[in-house]
Structure 1
């Protein structure tokens, strides 16, 4: 019976391609299910043979560890170079959106605190 290796919901295309490449390189048989028309399932990459699943899982864990480290290094580099937008930059780019989000946060916090003040 097949086992799911990777649910493709919210998975970037390059990551799915990398998974296909390392499965092919390791000689692990797999197949893919595509997302359905209504968005209920997102598709996935399945390992065809149960006996290959532990080895595929080890390869997947190693791949995700290297991808995580690469992403963290890219984030740290962008942060140190000042390429990440902070709250000030977002406010300059779209002040109405930032004010709207802050107002929504204050509204929800007020609704959450309302019972406390009414029951006091």
Structure 2
């Protein structure tokens, strides 16, 4: 019976491509399901053979460790160079979106606090 190796919800295309290449390079048979038309069901990468699932999971764990280390190194380099995205850089680039987000947060906090205020009165 096939086993799900990777749920493709919120997975970047480059990561999915890397996983496909990794499985091909190691001779692990897999197939892929595409997301449904309304995105209710998401796609996935499935391992066809039960015997290969342990090896596929081991390879996936190694890949995720390496990808995480690479992402952390890229972020650290961006922080060192001063090119990392910050609140202030987002505010300069998209002031309307940031302002609307802050207003929405304040409104939601007020809505959450409203029962407490009403119960005290």
Given the two structures, how large is their TM-score scaled by the length of structure 2? 0.90
Q: Offset at 1:67? A: 0.4
Q: Offset at 1:16? A: 1.2
Counterpart in 1 of 2:55?
55
Q: Offset at 1:94? A: 2.6
Counterpart in 2 of 1:83?
83
Paired with 1:99 and 1:37, the residues of 2 have a C-alpha distance of: 34
Counterpart in 2 of 1:113?
113
Q: Which runs of 5+ in 1 are unaligned?
A: none
The answer to whether 1:37 aligns with 2:37 is yes
Counterpart in 2 of 1:21?
21
Counterpart in 2 of 1:65?
65
Paired with 1:33 and 1:14, the residues of 2 have a C-alpha distance of: 17
Deviation string 1:64-102 (CA, Å, 9 cap, x unpaired) is: 110011011101111121112322222222322222211
Q: Offset at 1:38? A: 2.3
Counterpart in 2 of 1:9?
9
Counterpart in 2 of 1:96?
96
Q: Which runs of 5+ in 2 are unaligned?
A: none
What is the DSSP-based 3-state SS (H/G/I as helix, E as strand, rest coil) of the residue aligned with 1:52? helix
What is the DSSP-based 3-state SS (H/G/I as helix, E as strand, rest coil) of the residue aligned with 1:37? coil
Given the two structures, how large is their TM-score scaled by the length of structure 1? 0.91
- The Cα RMSD (Å) is 1.3
